[in-house]
Structure 1
Amino acid sequence: MRQIKDVKLGDHVCLAFAHEAEQRAVVTAFLAGGLESRERVLYFSDAPGSERVRSWLEEAGVDVASAGAARRLEFRTAQESYLSGGRFDPDTMIEMLRREVDASLAAGWAGLRVSGEMSWALAGQPGTDQLEDYERRVTGVYAVGHAVGLCQYDARLFPAERLTGLTDCHPEQAQMNALFETGTLSITPTFDADGARVLRVAGTVDHSTTPTWSAALRQAARAGGDVRVDMAELEFIDVAGIRELAVAASALTEGSSLRIRHLAPRLRQIITLVGWDAVPGLVIEQEAVRA
C-alpha cells in the first residue's frame, strides 16, 4: 500500500474503494498534488459530466477554471478515452497515453498525471476482457518516469475475484494519507461500504508509539458512533497497546462500540486472559470461515 502523498512520476497504482468518501479523499489529493507539482493532469470519467470531481477540487482550494484554461487540467469521458472507436483496445489506449506524455513534456510541464474511473469495463463493451492485459502492459509507460497513473475500481461493483486480479496487475495500491505516522507505526483512515470510517493500523505499537496510538483512538472516539480498527497489517502490539483499546472502548458513549477486526489469535487470547473482552463496548469481530 502507498499513501497517496507518496505517489510520484513513474508510479502506476490503483485504488479499490468501498465508499465515495474514500474515493474523494484519494482522488482529490492525487489531482491537486499533480497541479502543485507543475504536472499536466488528465482525468477519465465513467460517465458524461465531471462536475462531481470538479467540485471536490474546488472545495479543496484548487482554481479549476484557471487550470482548465491553461490546459493543465482536462476531463474526458470513457467514450473519449478507453472506448474510443467503440471498443476497448489496449494498443490504442497505450499509444494515446504515450502521445499525451510527449505533448505534456513538449508544453513544458513536469510530466503527466492520469486518473481513470474504471467501472466502464463492466458494461460489456467489446475488448473489456483485455483489461488485465492492459493494466500489466501500461505499467511500462509510467515506469519511464514521465507520467503517473491512478486507476480507480469501485469495490462495490466489481466481482471480488476480478477485482483482486485487476489490483494485482498494479505494482502497488493507493490509500488515504495517514492521520498519524511515526517511524514504525501508521494509522490510516479508510471506509466500509456503508460509509463508516475504519482505522487501518500498520506497524508496531510499543512503548515508543503508544502515545500516538492512544491519541488516534481518542480522536476517533470523539467523532461519535462506532470506532472500527483493522489490525490486519499490525506487526506487533504490546500489552500497554492492547490496554489502550479497552480504555478507549470504556470511554465511548453508551450504545457505541470499538470493533476490532483481523485480530491475531494470540492477541485475542491475551485479551480474554486479562478479562478485557468483558469491557462494555469492546467487540472483537469474528472472521468469516471459508469452506
Structure 2
Amino acid sequence: MELPERTVPVERLRLGDHACMEASGTESYWAVFTAYTRTSLARREKVLLVMDPDDLQDDEVIALLDRAGAAATQARADGQLSLKRTPQMYLPNGRFQKERTIEACRAEVERAREEGWAGLRVAADMSWAPKAGVEDERLRDYEASVAPLFADPLFTAICWYDRRRFGRTLLDDMARIHPLHVTAPRTDFVETLREALSRQNTEDPTHITLDLRDLCFMEAHCAWQLLTLAGSLPPGSEVTVRCGELLALVLRQLGADEVRQLVLEVTEEE
C-alpha cells in the first residue's frame, strides 16, 4: 500500500486533525499512543482512549503510560485522562448508530471545553466494527461523515485499524478517507548518533548538532541514551540539541542540565 501524501509522525498532530493508523500488534500502536498521550497532556488537552474490552485493563494502561513518563496517574485523577471501552462509545445498546456516535463525540468535546482543557484528543480502536458485524460500507460512511466534527479546532482523533481484523481494501479506503495517516515516533536518531560517535576520535573533543525541532516526543530510554552518549564524550565536546519546549522539558527532567557536553537550544512551540 502507498501511504497517503499527508503522512505525519504522531507528535506532529494538531488540534483539528483526523488521522488513521494501521497496526499489527500492541508494540507498534502503544508507541504511538504513548507519544500522543504525553504530548497532549503537556499541552493541557484532555485525552480519551477508547479501547477494545479485550485489550489491557485500565490499571495496566496507566502503568504502561507512566513507565514512559506520561504522568498518567495524576492526569487520570485530575480528569485530564479518560479511558473508555468501545461498546460505551459505539455500541451502548449493542447496536451501532452513526448519528448517535457523532453526537457522543460532540458531547465529549463540549465536556472537555467545560472542564477547562485546551482541547480533546481521542484515540479509538476500530476493531469493534467487525466484532459487531458492521459492514465495511457502513464504516466507510461513518468515517466520511465525521468530517464536520473537525471543523472545531478543539478536537483531534486517531482511528486505529488492526490489520488482523480488516481487509486490505478497507484499510486502503480508510487511508484515503482520513486526511492524515500517522506514523510512529521517530527515535532512529539515537542509533544514528551512536554510529556517528563511534567514528569519532574518542580522545579529541567532538562537536555535533542535532536538529530535533520537529520532534516533541522521545521515549524515556531513548532520552537516557542521548544523555549518556553526550556525557561519554571527551571534555570540551559539545552536543547541541535544537528542540521544542516539550522535548527540552523531558531532557531536563532526566538531568540534561548536569551533562556538561549537552547544550539545549530551545524553540518556542507554535
TM-score under structure 2 normalisation? 0.64
**SS of 1:110's equivalent?**
coil
C-alpha contact (below 8 Å) 1:87/1:125 kept by paired residues: no
Counterpart pick for 1:14 among 8, 16, 20: 20
**SS of 1:31's equivalent?**
helix
Cα offsets for 1:23-51 (capped at 9, x unmatched): 11111100111111101111111115334
Match of 1:140 in 2: 148
Counterpart pick for 2:78 among 48, 52, 70: 70
Give the drift of 1:22.
1.3
Mean CA deviation greater in 159-168 or 96-105: 159-168
Residue 158 (structure 1) aligned with residue 166 (structure 2): yes
Structure 2 counterpart of 1:21, one-letter code: E
Alignment of 1:87-106 (within 5 A): 87-106=95-114
Match of 2:48 in 1: 42
Give the drift of 1:108.
0.9
Structure exhibiting the larger radius of gyration computed from Cα positions: 1
Q: Return the alpha-carbon distance in structure 1 between the equivalents of residues 89 and 187 of structure 2.
A: 35
Which consecutive unaligned segments of at least 5 residues does structure 1 have? Answer: 182-211, 220-291
Structure 1 counterpart of 2:91, one-letter code: L
C-alpha contact (below 8 Å) 2:8/2:181 kept by paired residues: yes
Q: Return the alpha-carbon distance in structure 2 between the equivalents of residues 167 and 50 of structure 1.
A: 29
Give the drift of 1:107.
1.3
Counterpart pick for 1:25 among 27, 31, 42: 31
Counterpart pick for 2:182 among 174, 191, 196: 174
**SS of 1:81's equivalent?**
helix
Structure 1 residues 137 and 59: alpha-carbon distance in aligned structure 2, compared to 1, 3 A threshold: same
Cα offsets for 1:181-230 (capped at 9, x unmatched): 8xxxxxxxxxxxxxxxxxxxxxxxxxxxxxx9x947958xxxxxxxxxxx
**SS of 1:44's equivalent?**
strand
C-alpha contact (below 8 Å) 2:10/2:183 kept by paired residues: yes
Structure 1 residues 145 and 119: alpha-carbon distance in aligned structure 2, compared to 1, 3 A threshold: same
C-alpha contact (below 8 Å) 2:51/2:86 kept by paired residues: yes
Give the drift of 1:98.
0.7
Structure 2 counterpart of 1:63, one-letter code: A
Q: Return the alpha-carbon distance in structure 1 between the equivalents of residues 47 and 13 of structure 2.
A: 14
> How many residues are treated as equivalent by the alignment?
188
Root mean square deviation of aligned Cα = 2.4
Structure 1 residues 136 and 69: alpha-carbon distance in aligned structure 2, compared to 1, 3 A threshold: same
Give the drift of 1:66.
1.8
Structure 2 counterpart of 1:64, one-letter code: A
Q: Return the alpha-carbon distance in structure 1 between the equivalents of residues 194 and 151 of structure 2.
A: 38
Structure 1 residues 88 and 175: alpha-carbon distance in aligned structure 2, compared to 1, 3 A threshold: same
Alignment of 1:123-272 (within 5 A): 123-125=131-133, 129-179=137-187, 215=192, 218=195
Structure 1 residues 57 and 216: alpha-carbon distance in aligned structure 2, compared to 1, 3 A threshold: same
Give the drift of 1:20.
2.1
Structure 2 counterpart of 1:78, one-letter code: T
Structure 2 counterpart of 1:105, one-letter code: R
Structure 1 residues 153 and 83: alpha-carbon distance in aligned structure 2, compared to 1, 3 A threshold: same
Give the drift of 1:168.
1.9
Give the drift of 1:10.
0.5
Structure 2 counterpart of 1:19, one-letter code: G
Q: Return the alpha-carbon distance in structure 1 between the equivalents of residues 185 and 81 of structure 2.
A: 23
The higher relative CO (CA closer than 8 Å, separation ≥ 6) is in: 2
Structure 1 counterpart of 2:24, one-letter code: A
Sequence identity of aligned pairs in percent? 30
Match of 1:230 in 2: none
Match of 2:256 in 1: none
C-alpha contact (below 8 Å) 1:5/1:33 kept by paired residues: yes
Structure 2 counterpart of 1:152, one-letter code: W
